[in-house]
Amino acid sequence: MTIKRRIVIALKCMMLVFTGFSQSAQLAENYFRSPVDYDFKLSGNFCELRETHFHSGLDIKPSSKGNDKIYSIADGYVSRLRVASGGYGNVLYIDHPDVGYTSVYAHLEGFNDNISSLARQHQMALESFEVDFLLDPHILPVKKGDIIGIMGNSGYSFGTHLHFEIRDTKTEKPINPLLFGMKNPDNLPPSLVSMAIHGLDPDFHKVCDIRIPLDAIQGGTVNIPSPIEVPAWRVGIALQTYDRTDGSHNKLGIYSIHVYVDDSLSYSYHLDKVSFDQTKNIIGFYDYSVRKKESKTFALCYKYPGNKLEFLHNNGAGLINVYASKDRKVRIDVEDFSKNRSSVQFLLRRSENMQDPTAWPYKVKIQAGEPYELKEKNFTMLFSENSLFRNIKLSYQTIEEEGKETKYQIHDTDEPIRTPIFIAIKPEYPLDDKMSKAIIIRTGTKGGRTSYGGTWKDGSITARVSDFGTYHIDYDTVGPTIKIVDFNTLAGKKRAFRFMIKDNYSTKGEDAEDIEYKVWIDGVFTISTLSAKSSIVEIPLKDLSDGSHILKIEAKDHSGNISFFNSTFVKKGV
């Protein structure tokens, strides 16, 4: 590339940054190609609302032919390579240093031969199926259009597709790939499914939730003729909405929302980029309690005090004061990336019969933005200044059963937590030799139990938890189960054995470790694929010679409990 060409590209990159990623600012015409060789359709778009995170890229559907090749979108080098049982599965990161961006290709079925060989070297050296490593620029350089892998369904994926991202290399922030000229024809406006009018108390808790169906209206403006009466002093709006693109039935996320009150902009955003370290804020961006109870996603058109999403900065809080003597005119515009628009317009009026906030017993009021420590007998709970989206009246009680560790019931499970809360529990009964087996357990409303793991500090076991609920100490002394799915001592022409490896607890949080496993055949470590979706380990046999062999499987859980499977088998007649 010539110096002049690099200068032009650099200047256009600066334009992209300083224009706030406006749609009119392209990096450079045709600089990035598509990661596939066909006109793609999407099953997921940038920043659509997933349960625990904003979707950080595009989900590109497979072609009708299948077995689709994946291509590097520009010159660069493989900077990171990861193989995992969950998450992105088989994923490549390619840095494009001339322009300062990184492209990401996830859920691949496999890599090209050079990349696969390097991944295998690391797996064998570490004796681990899962590997994650960085590479220097000279190790795996790539050119624009090089085949880097095959589209697949690896990791936490539920259908063949390519999860594709473009990130700022320096900040690692994902950026909407459509800003870089990726083509996805879209002439369909968003669909408006339902609207909720939330009457809010001073702490942003609902005193009423008025639902208004919009019948999935698509395009144009919906005018609600009669004023909507609300028994509250102030209101926030929430919308259930989705988008579709040409030739695809998949429901996608919307790109932007603008709320106008009496013709003045009250709240707005557009989704051009999002930071990974802010992704947990999503549970304060939609109606968390409705999502948990009804499995419906209503995007809030107002902002909690503790929601620090960058794209909401300086765009208004979206709160609407309502009056009995004066109607407030509200219009909400919903747009997709191609500027197709659907709108709803209505009047708000305060009802004469006001709704008093529901009173419930509580221990203390905790302010969002302020740290707080609750310390009692054998239990400590620490909120940081970033733990909450809004003020809460903390409810808390102990549940004691003779001969068992006390359970600590903490607040309402429908309240979202922004950043994890630190808890510490001191055991009430002698540990004997069980100290290394201790974990913090959260008991679900339906009886499920989730391990948050934990570490010992000053005589207590501690963990960071991201949900309110009921917690207690338990002791895990049971090893993982290794269950035969497809195994026979007379292997014949089998190309693989399959086993299911599961623990007696599901795990969550930074203080809990997932199951570790290893497979050996004839004492030699064998790379065996684990699917986090099914807990199935697949042990390859296709390159194994005929004859008698010894299989050994080891699985270890968070508490160090180890289980084994040992057997001889005979392979014959490949």
Write the CATH number for 64. Answer: 2.70.70.10
| 4: pLDDT strictly greater than 70 | no
**Average pLDDT along the chain:** 90
Mean pLDDT computed over 347-356: 86
Question: What is the mean pLDDT of the segment spanning 347-367?
Answer: 81
Give me the pLDDT at residue 280, please. Answer: 82
Give the structural domain span for 268: 191-350
Establish if 185 belongs to a structural domain. no
What's the CA gap between 330 and 342, in Å, rounded?
A: 14
In a domain, residue 521? The reply is yes
Distance of alpha carbon 360 from alpha carbon 331, whole angstroms: 35
Out of 37-41, 112-116, 156-160, 313-317, which region has the weakest mean confidence (pLDDT)? Answer: 313-317
Please report, for the domain that includes residue 557, its CATH number: 2.60.40.10
Single out the residue in 158, 180, 202 at which a domain terminates.
180
CATH number (domain holding residue 447): 2.60.220.30
Instruction: Mark whether 496 and 456 lie in a shared domain.
Output: no
Q: What is the mean pLDDT of residues 481-506?
A: 94
Amino acid letter, residue 272: D
Average pLDDT over residues 182-201: 93
Lowest-confidence pick of 5-19, 138-152, 478-492: 5-19
How confident is the model at residue 316, as a pLDDT? 81
Amino acid at 372: Y
Is the domain of 134 the same as that of 210?
no
Has residue 203 been placed in a domain? yes
Asked if residue 126 and residue 90 are part of one domain, the reply reads yes
Residue 339: inside a domain, yes or no?
Answer: yes
459 with 490, same domain: the answer is no
Q: Is residue 147 part of a domain?
A: yes
Residue 47 lies in a domain: yes
- pTM over the 0.95 mark: no
Q: How far apart are CA 516 and CA 556, in angstroms?
A: 5
* 110-120 mean pLDDT: 96
Same domain (yes/no): 400, 500 = no
Whether residues 282 and 415 share a domain: the answer is: no
Single out the residue in 350, 374, 397 at which a domain terminates: 350
Q: Indicate whether 209 and 341 sit together in one domain.
A: yes
What pLDDT, on the 0 to 100 scale, is given for residue 360? 65
Q: How confident is the model at residue 18 (pLDDT cuts 50, 70, 90)?
A: very low
Check whether residue 19 and residue 157 sit in a common domain.
Answer: yes
Which of the listed residues 350, 372, 405 is the one where a domain comes to its end? 350
Whether residue 390 is found in the same domain as residue 459: yes
Tens digit of each residue's pLDDT (9 = 90 or more) over 238-289: 999 999 999 888 999 999 999 999 999 999 999 999 888 888 889 999 999 9
Same domain, 469 and 494: no
Q: Name the pLDDT band for 432 (thresholds 50, 70, 90).
A: confident
Beta bridge partners of 240: 194
What phi and psi values does residue 537 have, to the nearest 5 degrees? -100, 130
* Cβ 29 vs Cβ 131: under 8 Å: no
CA–CA separation, 141 and 143 (whole Å): 7
What does the pLDDT read at residue 58?
95
Q: What is the mean predicted confidence (pLDDT) over 119-142? A: 96
Question: Same domain, yes or no, for 464 and 509?
Answer: no
Please say if the pLDDT value at position 15 is more than 50: no
**Which pLDDT score is estimated for 372?**
96
Q: What average pLDDT score do residues 11-26 get?
A: 44
Whole-number pLDDT of residue 23: 37
Structure confidence by residue, pLDDT tens digits, 224-235: 989 999 999 999
44 & 175 share domain: yes
Q: What's the Cα-to-Cα distance from 298 to each of 197, 253, 328, 378, 549, rounded to whole Å?
A: 11, 12, 22, 39, 56
What's residue 19's pLDDT? 43
359, part of any domain: no
Instruction: Judge whether 470 and 407 are in contact, CB under 8 Å.
Output: yes
Residue 440 within any structural domain of the chain: yes
Give phi and psi for 378, each to the nearest 5. Answer: -115, 15
Q: How confident is the model at residue 482 (pLDDT cuts 50, 70, 90)?
A: very high
Q: What is the mean pLDDT of residues 120-141?
A: 96
- Number of folded domains that form the chain: 4
* Coil/strand/helix, residue 56: coil
Q: Where are the alpha helices (DSSP H) in 388-488?
A: none
